[in-house]
Amino acid sequence: MLLDIVQVGDPVLRQRARPLSAEEIRSDGIRKLIADMRETMRNAPGVGLAAPQVGLSLQLAMIEDREEWLEDVPAEKLAERERGVVPFHVIINPKIAASSQECVDFFEGCLSLAGFSAVVPRARHVRVECLDDRGKPNVIDASGWYARILQHEIDHLFGNMYIDRMRSRTFTSIDNFNRFWQNTSIGEACEKLDSTRRAATE
């Protein structure tokens, strides 16, 4: 069943979600929620979805970056983003146990902030400790785009959104992203936007 994706301004997106117990994770209700969220994420489409985004303040999120979604992305863009296929999986009660000091800038969007994007700095590598959809402990070491998705979804579980971390002068509508920035490297986009800021203050 497709679920409604709540939009920025809904209080549930700004709450710290509660952890799930092992008993809850194995319940029919959570099994159905996972199935419905998976269908909703794929229909959107998106590469990640957290329970608060469907109105439930629970520490549960899912990630999937499918091969067919990468087919039309130029190889140089995939390399720049360090992006590859990520099989579907669920993370429950996650915490970032370690992250690299090296940060990488890229444009991000969000299903709960439909129609917009901005450059967001994220750690290039993270180690995440969580439970899987069976309640079993799991450790995920991720780099590049996968690490970015993990950080984005875990933020949702603690009441944060990418707009809290974005480089504010890069905030753009998707239409203008496609018009002005889609074929521009991140370094060039940030340099141009920084130069307009400096010019505006001189």
89: CB partners within 8 A, 6+ apart: 62, 63, 64, 132, 133
d(CA 79, CA 57): 35
Catalytic residue list contains 39: no
Assigned token pair, 124: 């290039």
Identify the active-site residue in 23, 24, 129, 153. 153
**Distance from the first to the final alpha carbon of the chain:** 54
CB atoms within 10 A of CB 98: 11
State the sign of the Cα–Cα–Cα–Cα dihedral 53, 10, 14, 152: positive
- List strand residue ranges (DSSP E) for the chain, in order: 48-50, 60-65, 86-99, 103-108, 116-123, 125-131, 137-143, 172-173
Neighbouring CB atoms inside 10 A of 45's CB total: 12
- Could you tell me how far CA 61 lies from the centroid of its own chain? 10
| DSSP code at position 16 | P
Written as six digits, the tokens of 89 are: 């999986």
Catalytic machinery residues: 153
